[in-house]
Structure 1
Amino acid sequence: MKFDLDQNTRKEILIAVTEKLEDYYANTKACKITPTIDVANIKNLVSQVDLINGMDNFEAIDYVTKNLKENSVHTPHPSYFGLYNPRSNYAGIIADLITAYFNPQLAAWSHAPFAVEVEAHLIAELASKFGYSTNKFDGVFATGGNEANQTAVLCALNNQYPNFNRDGIFSVSKKPIIYCSEEAHHSVHKAAKTAGLGYNSVIPIPVGNDQKLDTTILKEKIEVSTQSNHAPLMIIGTAGTTGAGIIDDLVEINNIAKEYNIWFHVDAAYGGAAALSEKLRNQLKGIELSNSITFDAHKWMSVPMGASVFITSHPNILAKTFSISTEYMPKDADKLEVVDPYCHSIQWSRRFIGLKLFLSLLFYGWKGYEETINHQADMADLLRNKLTNNGWVVLNKSNLPVVCFTDEKNKNDQNFTTQILENIYENGNSWLSVYPINNINCFRACITNYNTTESELDELIEELNIERDKYTK
């Protein structure tokens, strides 16, 4: 068949692709991190190709790899200090290749029993790491934190309203309300919107000077809701905010959730990996008390996009929320003590998401992950010290490798961070972002790469110092 190509051609293509990818993987640091943005040129690069007849196989490979290399922000670069986009570990990359070859269909247990059981085992392992009871948990792999948070909202609704799975929003007499920090990820708002609750069902709670959700204000807002035509549905605590890497007071949030009988969800998409480190685990105190957790393996566990997990301490809630019966799906699971994934999640047909985490653990083990996480935390501590010694001021208090800082003399100058970042992006040697802390625009540097060393930290600070001196002259 034409789609298969012949065996020799396949081997030649694999060799050609592998050589290009290995060269990029081995020499990522030689790349300019930030591309030159020319919208018209990039649109032309895409539109000029012949999609009717196609092109030579090897020309196609050259075309794609060349343009990805020239027109991407290189997040695998060790001097990328940006968002939670880490370099993929090699086991995860190979896992994606294996998954593409076998292409298992994880909708039904009987179609991919090994793959489904691998993911079930990983859910159990992660539930244990987060402190859930060994016989009181459930979970499912998701495409990303957005899907996992949406799953949490749907589970909270089905838990609160017995007929929600049948009558939906029409079974609700009072408007359900979701409470979260104003620093929470906006996937919470998106989840509320797609669940039919609307943006206005989300009440952002202000944070204190420590950037944590203010639990006093939270209680006040809940009291106001209960006295109106609203029904408190869930509280979302964040474990590792996108901006400053802050972990909310999960213990106190749980106490409030229990007092008002509200579903307590923890968005630990990034910071959840702290549970894998003896050094950092205590930062997540209270997460074991939650009703559910969002965790992104594609963040701090450095596997390719996207690999998220939704875990809950309610063993039956996923089935209640997503179970459905059809005539055309295999019925093998009906006679076995197993669960068909399509009855357990938003997704129906889906790929083997969990393999990239499973193979990574087979390669490196939990111990390897703990060493890597500790290394990145140590690099962040070192960066904080180096910044302070060079006259910069760190403004966030986080034990996670997220550092927000500014220059004391220029902190109120709105153009300071913008101008310096423009110069840094143009140089292409490093990449960091900007984030406001207490109304001050700060530089935000996150250690996302397990290959980042003291050398990259020194290069970043040297560049920052040079740009600061140029700006103040």
Structure 2
Amino acid sequence: MSFDLTPDQRRHLLSELLPQLEDYYAHTRKLRVAPHLDPETVRAAARDFDFSTPVEPATAVRVVLDNLRKFQVHVPHPMYYGLYNPRASFPSILADMIAAYFNPQLAAWSHSPFAAEVERYLVSAYGTRFGFPGELTDGTFTSGGAEANLTAVCCAINHRFSDYSRRGFRAFGGDPVVYCSDQAHHSVVKAARTVGLGLDAVAEIAADEQLRMSVPKLRQRIVADREAGKIPVLVVATAGTTGTAAIDRLAEIADVCREYDVWLHVDAAFGGAAVLNDEYRDWLHGIERADSISTDIHKWLSVPMGTGMFLTRHPAIMEKSFGTAAAYMPREGKEYKPVDPYSHTLQWSRRFLGLRWYLSLLVFGWEGYADTIRHHVELGRYLRKRLKKRGWTIENDTPLPVVCFSRSGLSDPGAYAHGICARIVASGEAWLSIYPVRGVDVLRAGITNYATTRADVDRLVELLERIREEMDAAPGPGYAGTT
């Protein structure tokens, strides 16, 4: 059997595949949002073939599609109110197919100069939206916020310790410290561990009543660490925390970082997209003073998973942090002095991630994104209003479309939230999550799907009410009702 398929086979596969994909995309809301979880059944489906005998291509494709339909939380579903996994725009889906066909290699500029320049253009254009200095902005597409935050830690260390790239931890001359809120994404802790700083180097600053990093406590901790001979290296502020979408006081934190000469990184993986709508730019006031920013295009800007971005206002720091030379890398085009992506990022070989957003922007423009973000924000406000009217208590304070909620007067509100959530997910009608707010587990709904409507929000509220009434009428084992 030839490793390639014939043109006729390829055309036949596409003619069968595309209608099935379109059917899924057009009618996602007809499916259960979440599958029935049975590990043994899923494992058996994945291992149904032992690869000893080739399978007909059409059969192979059908197996994959059928099992993805059955065994997946369908994040493109309008009733998925989950963890920043939006429905991908159709242009971004086409972009993934185009990238797979052409398979550009973005390690060296000369191998795919158009792809490389598209990504550099997007870095500059998005940096400008944040208030960074346009063409002086540097950055890269990443696999997501975790890689972007790791990049930030690397850049901050290289900025603070000029000989770090050569001498590693021996260049420190003291204990480096990284500061973040106790609500920050855990990728900050993972990054500190990965680069060799260790968990003890991360100082988690308690959040205030609005679940934002306490600026007075940050200042106190930095002062105390300096007096103890430690070296403050990096403060990670958050614009849209994972759990409650809280936005730290970015301008005040920037003042502290400037006063003590500490690198400021803003993890804006979710909330950063708010800058694309002029009505909401003030929510991120101060982000323009950051040294670097993480932002995930796949969280709120409707592209496939694995599309993040790291931005910095320091155009030389990435080369300083990651620059290297390799004799086997292509040399053509050197007279143009291009930036070879492999020489100033963590990654080497890399997919053309930027095409997902570039093609979407070509089709919808900045205004299309501004309208979509407004749609989500307004739905978030509508959900809060509807929940309050039905007696639910809103537990978080954020302008972003993430709503954490519970009911008052419960003897065990955490058990109540888990009971509601489990029944909703099991129903297949919607998907919610649980998050601890001030130490108590509450229900959490996030809205990032452009296809979600007010009618869908109404359905969610009615579903909550129906399940609440069922639980109140027939409480199960471990159920803790109202006092």
Report TM bin, short chain: over 0.9
Aligned-pair CA distance for 1:134: 2.4
Which residue identity is paired with 2:427? Answer: N
Which residue identity is paired with 2:464? Answer: L
The equivalent residue for 1:460 is 460
SS in 2 for 1:132: coil
Distance 2:123 2:94 in 1: 21
Which residue identity is paired with 1:175? Answer: D
CA RMSD of aligned residues (A): 1.1
SS in 1 for 2:53: coil
SS in 1 for 2:16: helix
The equivalent residue for 2:366 is 366
Which residue identity is paired with 1:368? Answer: G
Q: 1:83 to 1:424 in 2, by over 3 A?
A: same
Q: CA offsets per residue over residues 220-247 of structure 1, 9 Å max, x none?
A: 1112211224211100000000000110
Aligned-pair CA distance for 1:401: 0.4
Instruction: Give the alignment of 1:64-463 within 5 angstroms.
Output: 64-410=64-410, 412-463=412-463
Task: Determine if contact 2:392/2:408 at 8 Å carries over to the other structure.
Answer: yes
Task: Determine if contact 1:411/1:440 at 8 Å carries over to the other structure.
Answer: no
Q: CA offsets per residue over residues 288-340 of structure 1, 9 Å max, x none?
A: 00000001001100100111110001010011111111111112343213200
Which residue identity is paired with 2:121? Answer: H
SS in 1 for 2:87: coil
Q: CA offsets per residue over residues 76-133 of structure 1, 9 Å max, x none?
A: 0000001110001100000000000000001111100000000010011001000012
SS in 2 for 1:356: helix
Which residue identity is paired with 1:226? Answer: R
- Of residues 261-270 and 328-337 in structure 1, the stretch that sits farther from structure 2 once superposed is 328-337
Gaps of 5+ in 1: none
Q: 1:205 to 1:333 in 2, by over 3 A?
A: farther
Which residue identity is paired with 1:60? Answer: A
Distance 2:434 2:413 in 1: 13
The equivalent residue for 1:6 is 6
Q: CA offsets per residue over residues 390-429 of structure 1, 9 Å max, x none?
A: 1111111111100111111237433101111111111110
Q: 1:230 to 1:333 in 2, by over 3 A?
A: farther
Q: Among all aligned residue pairs of Structure 1 and Structure 2, give the percentage whose two residues are the same amino acid.
A: 42
SS in 2 for 1:279: helix
Task: Determine if contact 1:333/1:340 at 8 Å carries over to the other structure.
Answer: no
Which residue identity is paired with 1:324? Answer: T
Aligned-pair CA distance for 1:199: 1.5
Task: Determine if contact 2:92/2:357 at 8 Å carries over to the other structure.
Answer: yes
Task: Determine if contact 2:421/2:433 at 8 Å carries over to the other structure.
Answer: yes
Compute the TM-score of the two structures, normalised by the length of structure 1: 0.98
Task: Determine if contact 1:412/1:440 at 8 Å carries over to the other structure.
Answer: no
Aligned-pair CA distance for 1:383: 0.7
Q: CA offsets per residue over residues 41-99 of structure 1, 9 Å max, x none?
A: 11111122131223111111111010011000111000000111000110000000000
SS in 1 for 2:298: coil
Runs of 4+ in 1 over 3 A off after TM superposition: none
Q: 1:377 to 1:468 in 2, by over 3 A?
A: same
- Of residues 413-422 and 7-16 in structure 1, the stretch that sits farther from structure 2 once superposed is 413-422
Which residue identity is paired with 1:185? Answer: H
Distance 2:319 2:456 in 1: 48
Task: Determine if contact 1:180/1:213 at 8 Å carries over to the other structure.
Answer: yes
Task: Determine if contact 1:80/1:448 at 8 Å carries over to the other structure.
Answer: no
SS in 2 for 1:443: strand
SS in 2 for 1:34: coil
Which residue identity is paired with 2:111? Answer: H
Compute the TM-score of the two structures, normalised by the length of structure 2: 0.96
Aligned-pair CA distance for 1:447: 0.5
Distance 2:341 2:76 in 1: 32
Task: Determine if contact 1:319/1:344 at 8 Å carries over to the other structure.
Answer: yes
SS in 2 for 1:299: helix
Distance 2:368 2:411 in 1: 39
* Aligned length in residues: 473
Distance 1:141 1:128 in 2: 16
Task: Determine if contact 2:125/2:134 at 8 Å carries over to the other structure.
Answer: no
